[in-house]
Amino acid sequence: MEKAIIWKRRASQQILEIEGYLLENFSPNEVYRFLDKLYRKLEMLQKYPEIGQRTRFKSIRRLRIGRRVSLFYRV
């Protein structure tokens, strides 16, 4: 059963800021590829919430989006 992703207000704002930064500094194709990868990972996360690596904090997990980009989330 899929789980809903509940975005905190700060996280929602940050994702919009990141998207704005990407649009200003990278080509539309690169931005599209990154956002496509991000949203595919989010779909996987909905289906398999435990997919991310455990961190030293019990309820926090890390999902790698790219080589230098990670998404931290709470289960």
Q: What is the pLDDT of residues 2-38, one digit of tens each?
A: 889 999 999 999 999 999 999 999 999 999 999 999 9
Q: Is residue 3 part of a domain?
A: no
Q: d(Cα 67, Cα 64) in Å, to the nearest integer? A: 7
* 13: containing domain: 9-74
pLDDT over 70, % of the chain: 100
Q: Is residue 57 part of a domain?
A: yes
Q: d(Cα 34, Cα 50) in Å, to the nearest integer? A: 22
Q: Is residue 2 part of a domain?
A: no
Total structural domains within the chain: 1
Q: Is residue 26 part of a domain?
A: yes
pTM for the full model? 0.82
Q: Is residue 59 part of a domain?
A: yes
Q: Is residue 48 part of a domain?
A: yes
